[in-house]
Amino acid sequence: MTDKIKIKQEDIEGNVYELPEGYMFKKIKTTVEKIKEIEDKIVELESIPEPTDEEYLEHGKATHPYDGSQIELDDLRRQLTELG
């Protein structure tokens, strides 16, 4: 069995290595990076202000599936008319 080799970040940055075809190095997040990312996302989400009742109603009206279904029905009816 051969000894393991150790590749440093400088080796990767300086492109002083060669891998067999089909292989690649992939940078994965460290635990510290994952924790920082999660903490940043928490801060971002906590900074979003709570919507007013009026904002909830407006959003509900804008995103309710009824409007989309009416547009789709109109399109289907138009297609039927065009087909005969």
> Which pLDDT value is given to residue 80?
94
Is residue 4 situated within a structural domain?
Answer: no
Which residues does the chain have with pLDDT short of 70?
1
Task: Look at residue 22 and tell me if it is in a domain.
Answer: yes
Residue 81: per-residue pLDDT = 92
Domain region containing 56 = 9-83
Give the residue ranges of DSSP H helices in the chain: 9-13, 31-46, 53-63, 65-83
Number of domains in the chain: 1
- Alpha-carbon dihedral of residues 31, 36, 37, 42, nearest 10 degrees? 130
Does 76 fall in a domain? yes
